[in-house]
Amino acid sequence: MNRYPIWKYLLIILSVALAALYTLPNLFGESPAVQIASVRATVKVDAALQQNAEAVLKGAGIKTEDVFFDGTSVKFRFKDTEVQLKAKDLLQARLGDDYSVALNLLSDTPSWLTKLGAKPMSLGLDLRGGVHFLLEVDMKAAVDKALEKTAGDVRRELKEKKIRYGRIVATRDSVEVQLRDEETTQAAAKALRQVLQQSQIDVRENKIVISYSAVALQQLKNDAVKQNITTLHNRVNELGVAEPVIQQQGEGRIVVQLPGVQDTSKAKDILGRTATLEVRMVEDDQAKMSEALNGNVPAGFELLSERGSDGQNRPILLKKEVELTGDNINDAQAGFDDQNSAAVHINLDSTGAAIFKTLTKESIGKRMAMVLVEKGKGEVVTAPVIRSEIGGGRVQISGSMGVAEANDTALLLRAGSLAAPMNIVEERTIGPSLGKDNISKGFNSTLYGFFAIAVFMMIYYRVFGVVSAISLAGNLLFLLAMLSLLGVTLTLPGIAAIALTLGMAIDANVLINERIREELRLGMTPQAAISNGYDHAFATILDSNVTTLIAGLALLIFGSGAVRGFAWVHCIGILTSMYSAVFVSRGVINLIYGGRRVSTLAV
Amino acid sequence: MEFFHIKRDIPFMSYGKLTTAISLATFVLAVAFLVMKGLNLGVEFTGGTVMELRYAQSVDLNQVREKVDSLKYGEAQVQSLGTTRDVMVRLPNIKTKTSAQLSNEVLNLLKADNSAVELRKVEFIGPSVGSELVTHGATAILLVCVGIIAYLAVRFEWRFAVSAVIANMHDVIIILGCFALFQWEFSLTVLAGILAVLGYSVNESVVVFDRIRENFRKPNLRGKTVPEVIDNAITATISRTIITHGSTECMVLSMLIFGGAALHGFAMALTIGIVFGIYSSVLVASPLLLMLGVTRENMIKPVRIKEEAVV
């Protein structure tokens, strides 16, 4: 008796082997690396760039250990920091301002492990140092901006339909239009219902109230947060930070984490900076163009580059005068035009619409350029020919572009500015030396505690104590493997949870061992005592672990920050400890005592 | 080896009045400290700016305090963080200044005095985030209690659920009382520690309850009274109770001693929680169970005769 079928042993061996495999990446250190990312949304990092960078490094005789391309950036691994710094300076000089070249640390995990999906745990900022911001999006401002836009739309529409109106005011959550009499009110309501299909339009005696539905309001807020996140992404790219975290938290908050950054004021400057869009007229006069190409740009003009549909950049001559800026753009969305080809629909505010109308009226047949100014440098996104006067503030840019390109352009037009202002509500800077300290202290305290428990168990319960220690070690292995596999970010409270979970995990073994002693005292045979001991203890272990798990899950759902970091590890730890204390330890005990005649148990 | 080989059952329940009186007294004391002194809430809850500095040599705190006070930022706190080289500076929120300005000014001033100072950590938390955390923390505690009551009511009986949760809250209030009495900083990690104690302490009660339920069903204990049955259950599990707690306490003490300032509050909350966890599972939860009038019949459900319709 007390023998497991062979498949159970195989399962234990397999699970331990897998756990060891997935814990393994944590043992490899990190080596210095350089990461090349794009600074502009129009410049893509691709395989061609990788080859280019490789050639640059090879030409200078710099040896790389490893190169890979992860979809958004190219990373090179080097032997030591000296080579890394040399490579960084060289790459930044050769590749130019379109790319950010950042220093990075990459895990030394061999590629065969990475291919199996094994990766080291990612460390939280409190363990590696860096800056953490919690930004709050000013939702009221976002709603106000949208209401202003609607008020402008109403004004324009009523003017166009030649309906006389009185005051138009944007109140807290609606736009009110005062009208003269019943007749004009009905006419206005009819006209507005056609244009403002998203909004709710109520008619009260000689007054129209336009408000957003709850759904539309929610959509508006979501869009504001999304746009701000996109903009932040673009800006953070400029910092050249390796692996930044930019996430939405709750309804209107954004978390920005920049590992390794120490200078908060620089980080804040860049997060707060704006990229702008400018509409300027193109000068197609060939004489002036050739003059400019010869390096002699005429006064009042500027030579910029235009991205063609084939991906090549070609020079384009623009007037310096800015007709319209991105401040007047309310929204830009990718879509399709009448001929069903990809297009970008831009929505201008009332001022923008008025300017745009005059501009297009006076310049039919000429080319107009949309210039995105980032980092003090402009680039022409598109330069279409004006075919007719465009009123109403709805501008459509179409031409020889694909769907992906239309999406990119729409993103670009939106990305320049923030949908709503943001405030920093939380800010943390953790020095790298503190991070290292935290790791070593957390690690040491866990280690000492673990040894103390293991030694005690072995002395107190002898063979069964040794098995308990083995299963506790197994539990640690399973826990680390699960954390690595699930990609949980390890924080200091997480390390504390590992320690606490180990301390609590021994409870199951103690319950079992005590139970077996008790059964022996009651006069059971050794084999029956093992079997009954495990069986009786199981109900207790289940009950106590489920209650602990309930507490852990509540923490996970309602906790934030430190509490959540703790809860993740705690919950996973409870599950792994049940597996190792009940199943693995029984397996080892069965292997030692099972299937033979035993007169005494060493417990 | 065996430490607790107890031949006869210890009459824990006969001490019921005494232990209830003791725990009631500690409970009332804890509440009194909480009301009178209040918790020394950390920056996560109150909002404000906290700086952690490390000096190359040991530094006179009074000097640092004078320097910081000379900036006139209102109620600034300067504390040592375990060693004489590590200093923590707490500044209240100031409307006219951003935290970056605030921390830079303080650092520049201190650097002018003693250049061998390293900024290890700066934290700035707005007041709105803080108050949100308080509500989240309260919700978490409430949800844990509801979850535990529900589970225990299903697996055992409502009396078990109620006494376990009361015993649990008793532990939590006493930990909070200790934090109020000694004015230790109550941070988010301490909250995590307290919530962990909630889970841990109920774990304890469940183990004893499990044994009580089992004893009620045992034929050889049929003649015994309810207090005797409970005494037997506690005595049978006492060895396990002490060894498990010993192991966990060992781990937590290791954290308290070697874990450094960052884990100090967490380990402290757990240290107190574990000590009271033993006490409450044995001497609070079980007498409460008795007071609520648990009987053998509560645990042995009568066999329900199924009425089947015969068509």
A73 and A13, same structural domain? no
**Stretch among A39-43, A91-95, A197-201 having the lowest mean pLDDT:** A39-43
Residue A600 lies in a domain: no
Determine the average pLDDT of the residues in A520-549: 90
Could you report the per-residue pLDDT of A252-281, keeping only the tens digit for each? Answer: 899 999 887 767 776 776 676 555 677 888
A326 and A454 assigned to the same domain:
no
Q: Are residues A88 and A175 in the same domain?
A: no
> Is A499's CB within 8 Å of B255's CB?
yes
Residues 6+ positions from A240 with CB-CB distance below 8 Å: A35, A37, A100, A101, A102
CA distance B187 to B173: 16
**Contacting residues for A603 by C-beta, under 8 A, at least 6 apart:** A461, A462, A463, A464, A513, A516, A517, A520
Q: What was the ipTM of the complex prediction?
A: 0.86
Tell me how crowded residue B149 is: count the other CB atoms within 10 A of its CB. 18
Query: A571: domain CATH number?
Result: 1.20.1640.10
User: What residues of chain B lie within 8 A of the CB of A428, using their CB?
Assistant: 121-124
Beta bridge partners of A68: A75
Which residues lie closer than 8 Å to A537 by C-beta, 6 or more apart?
Answer: A508, A511, A512, A515
Confidence of residue A441 (pLDDT cuts 50, 70, 90): very high
Query: Using CB atoms, which residue from B204, B210, B244 is nearest to A539?
Result: B210
How many angstroms separate the Cα of B10 from the Cα of each of A242, A289, A522, B4, B14?
63, 102, 19, 12, 9
Q: Are residues A101 and A51 in the same domain?
A: yes
Q: In whole angstroms, what is the distance from residue A246 CA to residue A231 CA?
A: 11
Q: What is the mean pLDDT of residues A559-576?
A: 87
Asked whether residue A81 falls in the same domain as residue A156, the answer is no
- Which CATH number is A189's domain given? 3.30.1360
DSSP per-residue string spanning B135-198: HHHHHHHHHHHHHHHHHHHHHS-HHHHHHHHHHHHHHHHHHHHHHHHHT-EE-HHHHHHHHHHH
Out of A452, A540, A548, closest to residue B200 by CB: A548
C-alpha A383/C-alpha A398 separation (Å) is: 10
Judged against a pLDDT cut of 90, whether residue A186 lies above it is answered with no
pLDDT for the residue A484: 93
**Single residue among A85, A107, A129 that ends a domain in this structure:** A107
pLDDT tops 90 at residue A447: yes
**How near does any CA of chain A get to the CA of B284, in Å?**
18
CB contact under 8 A, A496 and B136: no
Please indicate, yes or no, whether residues A468 and A562 belong to a single structural domain of this protein.
yes
Residues from chain A that touch B144, judged by Cβ atoms under 8 A, are 550-551, 554-555
- What confidence score (pLDDT) does residue B13 get? 86
How far away is chain B from the Cα of A553, in angstroms, using its nearest Cα?
8
If asked whether residues A293 and A349 sit together in one domain, one would say yes
Residue A97: give the domain boundaries: 30-107
% pLDDT > 90, chain A: 22
Q: Do residues A102 and A144 share a domain? A: no
Cross-chain residue pair B128–A425, CB shorter than 8 Å: yes
Distance, C-alpha A191 to centroid of its chain:
43
DSSP annotation string for A469-530: HHHHHHHHHHHHHHHHHHTPEE-HHHHHHHHHHHHHHHHHHHHHHHHHHHHHHTT--HHHHH
What distance in Å separates the CA atoms of residue A526 and residue B155, rounded to the nearest whole number? 31
Contact A561 B251 (CB under 8 A): no
CA distance A281 to chain B (A): 42
Q: Do A442 and B104 touch (CB under 8 A)?
A: no
In a domain, A383, yes or no: yes
pLDDT tier for residue A129 given thresholds of 50, 70 and 90: confident
CB A492 to CB B263 under 8 A?
yes
Cβ–Cβ below 8 Å for B195 and A555? yes
> Is A127 inside any structural domain?
no
Tokens of A552: 């852990």
Q: How many CB atoms lie within 10 A of CB A120?
A: 21
CB pairs under 8 A between A and B: 238
* Residue A229 resides in a domain: no
Whether residue A263 lies inside any domain: the answer is no
Number of domains in chain A: 4
Pick from A517, A544, A570: which is nearest to B203 by CB?
A544
CA distance A95 to B204: 63
CATH of the domain at A411: 3.30.1360.200
Q: Is residue A244 part of a domain?
A: no
Task: Give the pLDDT of residue A19.
Answer: 95
> How would residue A18 be classed by pLDDT, with cut points 50, 70 and 90?
very high
Please give the DSSP secondary-structure letter assigned to residue A297: P
Domain boundary among the residues A384, A417, A450 is at A417
Closest Cα in chain B to A561: B188
Do residues A567 and A559 lie in contact, with contact meaning Cβ atoms separated by under 8 Å?
A: yes
**CA–CA separation, B109 and B103 (whole Å):** 10
Amino acid at B175: I
Write out the two tokens for B116: 């061998």
Q: Tell me, yes or no, whether A42 and A78 share the same domain.
A: yes
Q: How far apart are CA B21 and CA A322, in angstroms?
A: 82
Which three-class secondary structure state does DSSP give residue B55? strand
**What tokens were used for A294?**
């010869």
| Residues of A whose CB is below 8 A from B151 | 546-547, 550
Residue A237 inside a domain? The answer is: no
Whether residues B255 and A555 touch (CB distance < 8 A) is answered with no
Q: Cβ–Cβ of A561/B211 closer than 8 Å?
A: no
Domains defined along chain B, listed by start: 12-39+129-297 (1.20.1640.10), 48-125 (3.30.70.3400)
Mean pLDDT value across residues A339-352: 80
* A341/A384 same-domain check: yes
A396 plus A288 within the same structural domain: yes
What count of other Cβ atoms lies within 10 Å of the Cβ of residue A548?
A: 27
The CATH number of the domain where A100 resides is what? 3.30.70.260
Give a yes or no: residue A222 inside a domain.
no
Same domain, A444 and A518: yes
CB contact under 8 A, B126 and A424: yes
DSSP secondary structure code for residue B72 in this structure:
-
With CA atoms as reference, the chain B residue closest to A269 would be B100
Cα–Cα separations (whole angstroms), residue A276 to A38, A324, A374, A378, A409: 18, 11, 7, 9, 14
The closest CB to that of B251, out of A502, A510, A540, belongs to: A502
Is residue A32 within 8 Å of residue A80, measured between CB atoms?
yes
Tokens 């509490």 belong to A563
Q: pTM here?
A: 0.77
Which of these three, A87, A107, A127, is where a domain ends? Answer: A107
